[in-house]
Structure 1
Amino acid sequence: MRLLQYILFVFFITGISNAQQVKITGKVTDDESLPLPGVNISIKGNTNGTQSDFDGNYTILTNIGDTLVFSYVGFEIAEEKVTAASSLMHIKLIPDSSQLEEVVVTAYGSKRVRKSTSYAVSSNKSKRRGRKHRQRRIKKSSGVQVALEIRGANPASRTKQPLYVVDGVPVDNKDIAVVNAIDPSKIAKVEMLKSKKETSIYGTKAKHGCIVITTHSGNYKVQNDESYREIVENDFKRVHMAPLSTFSIDVDKASYSNIRRMINTGVKIPADAVKIEEMINYFNYQYAQPKDEHSFAIHTEYALTPWNMKTQLVKIGLKGKEIPQHEIPASNLVFLIDVSGSMGNSNKLPLLKKAFKLLVNQLREKDKVSIVVYAGAAGMVLKPTSGANKYEINQALQNLEAGGSTAGGEGIRLAYKIAKENFIKNGNNRVILATDGDFNVGISSNKDMKKLIEEKRKSDVFLTCLGFGMGNYKDSKLETLADTGNGNHAYIDTMQEAQRVLGKEFGGTMYTIAKDVKIQVEFNPSKVQAYRLIGYENRLLANEDFIDDTKDAGELGSGHTVTALYEVIPVGVTNKYLKGIADLKYTNSTINKEYGDELLTVKFRYKKPQEKKSIEMVHVLHTDTKTSVSQDFNFAASIAWFGMKLRGSKYIENQNIKDIIVLAETNKEKDNQGYKAEFIRLMNSYQGL
């Protein structure tokens, strides 16, 4: 009897030991120690599992004696036995040479493995063996993640893309990026067809294979309905008829990151998406800070125009005073976040939540944050909370899920109401709107939204608009809101851009040092026949608006630089862009010779954030002090040149993109963050599109 009891006791203890549960944490990397997001980690012989996060980290509860299986498309499956010493388990996956090398089509499940969708994968081995390739995917909390990618593809080889077919309808090449952004939860199956028999029904467009996507509804419509405000390129104006050029400054940078996204994904770039001033102002320049009582310093220089040797290029640069972050007044921030159904894609709400964590990391104890969300209706999900409570703020962000229609107007009203209720006198009061701009419930037109923001800006609450996603991105609407709401506009396509806008440039993005900033340039007719402003087409002002303090204009943040370029036709130069006009009968066109050494005069007006009266500065560009131009001048010129080429400008005499690249390459000094080098890589990629 005692022996039986002893045997039962040992059996019981052994059972407890074998069933002992442990928490395993670790990181999954590739053979070059780079993190792999979205790796499936499952318990062998069990339906339980998880996935690695964006940084390759994972956590899973399992039992001693279980075997963990690590699987990732393009890599060999790894298995690891769980022991009592396995609480920390780092895994390095080895590339699988037998995996698909030309086209990769994958669909994989979420944390709950039993909910993974069915899928089909065919392989087409490439002759380009040994070419390194890495796919990065962001984990989704639910649904199915789909990745469609040509392995080893580059812009020059995009003519070899397979044909995409969604629910039986072939998709144009220009909309392939939109296909990648289909809500994963709507996809039932992904297949690849590659034999002639399989692809014959789709004709010659499918000669490089065919990727067939079937959705649950069976009638998904792929369409690219991004919208941009029309831009009419500025023409040359004769100085003796229009000596003044007046415009509102612009520090928005959304156009450049949006164009970068299009080039990187092989999407055709709409001309109206190219805002040259935003491309130029994306980059920082080495302008000296103000040394007097003003919040700004003005810098000017000029030289021959690189794309037209018969004209001259004038650069006007502004530098705002840099305010150390600890000196920025207390902030009252309201995060206004779009959680409608259109935000479900991985490059929208999931990216947004990670991006906002970078902003939260910058907050101080004296700052406070509220979170308002809107879909079919609007509501507050986080009451005003001190910046010291970062965990609470981040948890509220993490809990956000997408679904429903888009009542943007209602969300804006609630956000401004909360900002006003928590207003900090002499503080930094701001609503931060994050959306794809696709408002479709209640007030939604650009005109109505502008009217709403005009009303709300009277509260002295500023507005920042952050755009996310593709396919239905409404750049025109966000530009209108930011311009009207005393704010700025950025487009966030990657975590790299999020780090730039919400991390590195936090002060400039979130703290305004001047509002209603205007520039008026007067050209000397004894030196300049005609001029044209490059860019800023949607920022032009009437000349009388310059001294009108009730006229809304642009805003500048701490440390911001702003650059404007004019192309001018000197006196005595014959130019085909300047056509003759009839003699004037009533106007005296006599030129004042008293200012013969002046090329132009820049007048600059701005208001301090809490004031109603503007301050004026004046700067004169003389011709007798001309020296060699800076590398900043030449790099800005290369950006303008490329932007004009993207727009198909009629004013470019030299269309050779290699000359643009050379100009940028030889003038990319002080590129610590690598943004200028990235611009050169983009131009090289664009050559193949």
Structure 2
Amino acid sequence: MKNLILILCFALSFLHAEAQEKTIKGTVTADFDGVPLQGVNVIIKGTSQGTQTNLEGKYSINASADDVLLFSYIGYVKISKKVNDALVIDVAMQIDNSTLDEVVVVGYGTQKRTVSTGAVSVVSSEKKVPTKSANFSQILSGQVAGVNVATGSGQPGSNSTVNLRGVSSLHSNIEPLFIIDGVPVDEANFRSLKKSDIAKVSVLKDAGATSIYGNRGAAGVILITTKNGNYKPINTEHYAKIQENPFKYSSQTPLSTFSIDVDKASYSNVRRMINNGETVPPNAVKLEEMVNYFNYNYPQPTNEHPFSINTEVVETPWHKETQLVRIGLQGKTYANAILPASNLTFLIDVSGSMGSRNKLPLLKSAFKLLVNQLREKDKVSIIVYAGAAGVVLEPTSGDQKEKILAALDHLRSGGSTAGGAGIKLAYKLAEKHFKNNGNNRVILATDGDFNVGASSDDDMQSLIEEKRKSGVFLSVLGFGYGNYKDSKLETLADKGNGNHAYIDNMQEAQKVFGKEFGGTLFTIAKDVKIQVEFNPKKVQAYRLIGYENRLLADEDFVDDTKDAGELGSGHTVTALYEIIPVGIKSGYLKNQPDLKYTKLNTKENYEDELFTVKFRYKEPKEDTSIEMVHVQNDTITQATIDSNFAAAVALFGMQLRQSKYFNNATTTKVIELAESGRGEDKDGYRAEFIRLVKSYENLK
């Protein structure tokens, strides 16, 4: 009897164990390409208990051995799986053959079948669509099998993301190719369309999309014909407004104070526009970045300071009655082999807006140039962000190049853009693996089109100002056009103790990551400020050419809490002033009021001095500034080769900016100056500038 009771107890406990719930996990993918599917419904049969797959196609659900899991997703065959003893159930879903490989949306209300490899579905404009669906992308949502339209954050106003053949992980491409009236466009242009604009839309999801459009069509193709048939892509690029520096009387404002700027993004961005035959927006032209794109023949420092100081005063080439002052800094150059070990965190935007050829594909090729220069002692991590942020490569030694390159190769674009979340995660990882005596840097690569979470310029400034306290530096690389957010990326670089470059082609990538590797990644001086005091006995008025976004209050010069620019290994910085000598009448100057209490009182023994320039900088790990002083006499010299070329670039920039100060000088004058300033030009950058000016002249 006792044995029978024991057997019954054992049997009951076994049955109870069978009925106990356990956690089932798995990944759902598309069977034809292995792409993870987000949003697949996973439900326990006969119940309302269920879940959905996440961004990487993963799910987790509590179920018992007797339960059956049902997997369903629009456009795919439903699948059922008995749990039994399994703890992991992976599913590969097949496209439902009864659904359609091409969809035609007829805006004028008629239904028409077109030739395709499968059946054709029609979504007519007569269909009732919620009145709140202001843009056309929402019409496809829920109407077309295999087409998913979702917002990145779920918040009102969030950008929608259109996906064909399922939603992928951060590692896979989910952005289809959008073609409107025969012109490839980005998703922002697609979202801007209204239902009333559309004549016809074809959605290609099968292998034919790739055979016709190549790899760019691998995630599907949406072909749109508008009623007018001449759609022009919208441009959502954004540049901060620039108020050009005016002439200032030295008797009233003798001090000019600003932060250095080694950014060069403006020049390569302007070059891209001219080469594409586009109109250059005046606010896209930052004169200091145009001038500083080029290196000048300044001598290496010979003392304990990390840079040399050089000044020159010549007659202004575009105005005979003024003088041009050139102030140049040359950062000490360190051989790449002796640079300290690097802790680099690649922060890469893989959102849907990065799908264009000039964005993520170019970005990956550019980063490969950097990876190939890494040493064993260097470490690289890779973080990506779209609708969310994630780590795709933990810190990896620079000698494991194949592993790093493979991680880059697997990156695909898709989803919204949670830039703020990506920045936070990147800094967290960089701080976790901080090298006390090394180079700790986050390298952000993006078009700057953040649209989830913290995204405004002010949000980015607050975020990055907090993060820079960690001692991690920031480099910002801009890619692409049409929705490029220059102002946001400049803010990040300026406030993050870093630099900003715009990469428009592989030649520029080679310049940034190849020829200027050390300067891009290794800071030799931070918070570098310049303050120039002009002698009012010699200088009637002056104006700083460029640096409008870098101006500082005079008292900020001696305030070590004020942020300023960074100087990298081998970097040069050039600043230009145009000055009006005492006694010259100029239409640029307005009458100045008489002062009752303040009188000009210049000491006689300074009469041979034109100006005094002071520099303050901090060593990379220090918080206290070091000051340097340089005095320039009033000698006017013959313009050097470098002076002529710097003047040519500044003059061209003023013309592009439609400045009131270039004295109606022509592009012929720019070319003349540039030719006389071409010099040795080993890398051909100055010759390229001359060709660019000539191209611009032909466009006018």
Alignment TM-score, normalising by the size of structure 2: 0.69
Unaligned runs of 5+ in 1: 1-113, 116-139, 151-164, 171-179, 193-200, 203-210, 214-220
State which of 419, 435, 441 in structure 1 corresponds to 2:430: 419
What is aligned with 2:648? 638
Aligned ranges for residues 273-672 of structure 1 at < 5 Å? 273-624=284-635, 626-672=636-682
Amino acid at match of 1:312: Q
Two-structure CA RMSD over aligned residues (Å): 2.7
Q: Is the 8 A contact 1:190 1:212 kept in 2?
A: no
SS of residue in 1 equivalent to 2:501: strand
User: Cα distance, 1:582 vs. partner?
Assistant: 2.2
User: Cα distance, 1:379 vs. partner?
Assistant: 0.5
User: Cα distance, 1:585 vs. partner?
Assistant: 0.7
Q: Is the 8 A contact 2:180 2:225 kept in 1?
A: no
Distance in 2 of aligned mates of 1:316 and 1:465: 26
Q: Is the 8 A contact 1:526 1:593 kept in 2?
A: no
Amino acid at match of 1:325: N
Distance in 2 of aligned mates of 1:300 and 1:585: 36
Distance in 2 of aligned mates of 1:528 and 1:374: 52
Distance in 1 of aligned mates of 2:431 and 2:223: 49
Distance in 2 of aligned mates of 1:229 and 1:367: 36
User: Cα distance, 1:145 vs. partner?
Assistant: 10
Give the number of the structure whose alpha-carbon radius of gyration is greater: 2
Q: Is the 8 A contact 1:167 1:212 kept in 2?
A: no
What is aligned with 1:224? 235
Distance in 2 of aligned mates of 1:580 and 1:590: 20
Amino acid at match of 2:652: F
Q: In the TM superposition, what whole-angstrom CA distance separates every residue of 1:463-488 from its partner, at most 9, and x where no partner exists? A: 00000000110000000000000000
Q: In the TM superposition, what whole-angstrom CA distance separates every residue of 1:84-126 from its partner, at most 9, and x where no partner exists? A: xxxxxxxxxxxxxxxxxxxxxxxxxxxxxx99xxxxxxxxxxx
Distance in 1 of aligned mates of 2:437 and 2:222: 54
SS of residue in 2 equivalent to 1:309: coil
Distance in 2 of aligned mates of 1:454 and 1:332: 20
State which of 239, 242, 252 in structure 1 corresponds to 2:253: 242
Q: In the TM superposition, what whole-angstrom CA distance separates every residue of 1:179-199 from its partner, at most 9, and x where no partner exists? A: x9xx8667545999xxxxxxx
The more displaced of 530-539 and 609-618 is: 609-618
Distance in 2 of aligned mates of 1:470 and 1:186: 22
User: Cα distance, 1:583 vs. partner?
Assistant: 1.1
Amino acid at match of 2:466: E
Aligned ranges for residues 31-110 of structure 1 at < 5 Å? none
What is aligned with 1:673? 683
Amino acid at match of 1:355: A
User: Cα distance, 1:654 vs. partner?
Assistant: 3.1
Amino acid at match of 2:629: V
SS of residue in 2 equivalent to 1:261: helix
Alignment TM-score, normalising by the size of structure 1: 0.70
SS of residue in 2 equivalent to 1:252: coil
User: Cα distance, 1:308 vs. partner?
Assistant: 1.2
Q: Is the 8 A contact 2:180 2:224 kept in 1?
A: no
Aligned-residue sequence identity (percent) comes to 64
Distance verdict in 2 for CA 1:145–1:190, change over 3 Å? closer
What is aligned with 1:207? none
User: Cα distance, 1:512 vs. partner?
Assistant: 0.5
Distance verdict in 2 for CA 1:149–1:648, change over 3 Å? farther
Distance in 1 of aligned mates of 2:266 and 2:196: 34
Q: Is the 8 A contact 2:175 2:413 kept in 1?
A: no
Distance in 1 of aligned mates of 2:254 and 2:524: 30
Distance verdict in 2 for CA 1:346–1:547, change over 3 Å? same
Amino acid at match of 2:643: F
Amino acid at match of 1:443: A
Distance verdict in 2 for CA 1:186–1:536, change over 3 Å? farther
Distance verdict in 2 for CA 1:168–1:310, change over 3 Å? farther
User: Cα distance, 1:449 vs. partner?
Assistant: 1.0
Q: Is the 8 A contact 1:308 1:654 kept in 2?
A: no
SS of residue in 1 equivalent to 2:420: helix
Q: Is the 8 A contact 1:533 1:566 kept in 2?
A: yes
Distance in 2 of aligned mates of 1:358 and 1:309: 46
Amino acid at match of 1:425: N
Aligned residue pairs total 505
User: Cα distance, 1:592 vs. partner?
Assistant: 2.3
User: Cα distance, 1:629 vs. partner?
Assistant: 2.3
Q: In the TM superposition, what whole-angstrom CA distance separates every residue of 1:257-304 from its partner, at most 9, and x where no partner exists? A: 000000011111111100000000000110001111111101111111
What is aligned with 1:272? 283
Distance in 2 of aligned mates of 1:384 and 1:168: 51
Aligned ranges for residues 95-244 of structure 1 at < 5 Å? 187-189=221-223, 222-244=233-255
Distance in 2 of aligned mates of 1:464 and 1:223: 29
Q: Is the 8 A contact 1:233 1:535 kept in 2?
A: yes
Amino acid at match of 2:607: G
What is aligned with 2:97? none
What is aligned with 1:156? none
Unaligned runs of 5+ in 2: 1-116, 119-172, 184-192, 199-212
SS of residue in 1 equivalent to 2:611: strand
Q: Is the 8 A contact 1:340 1:402 kept in 2?
A: yes
SS of residue in 2 equivalent to 1:308: coil
Q: In the TM superposition, what whole-angstrom CA distance separates every residue of 1:550-584 from its partner, at most 9, and x where no partner exists? A: 11000000000000000000011111111112211
Amino acid at match of 1:628: Q
Amino acid at match of 1:657: T
State which of 252, 258, 270 in structure 2 corresponds to 1:259: 270
Distance in 2 of aligned mates of 1:373 and 1:364: 23
Q: In the TM superposition, what whole-angstrom CA distance separates every residue of 1:24-75 from its partner, at most 9, and x where no partner exists? A: xxxxxxxxxxxxxxxxxxxxxxxxxxxxxxxxxxxxxxxxxxxxxxxxxxxx
Amino acid at match of 1:652: F
Distance in 1 of aligned mates of 2:664 and 2:679: 24
Amino acid at match of 1:230: K
Q: In the TM superposition, what whole-angstrom CA distance separates every residue of 1:509-538 from its partner, at most 9, and x where no partner exists? A: 011001000000000111100000000000
Distance verdict in 2 for CA 1:262–1:168, change over 3 Å? farther
SS of residue in 2 equivalent to 1:299: strand
Q: Is the 8 A contact 1:600 1:622 kept in 2?
A: yes
2:687 aligned with 1:684: no
Q: Is the 8 A contact 2:476 2:493 kept in 1?
A: yes
Amino acid at match of 1:457: R
Distance in 1 of aligned mates of 2:602 and 2:225: 73
SS of residue in 2 equivalent to 1:604: strand
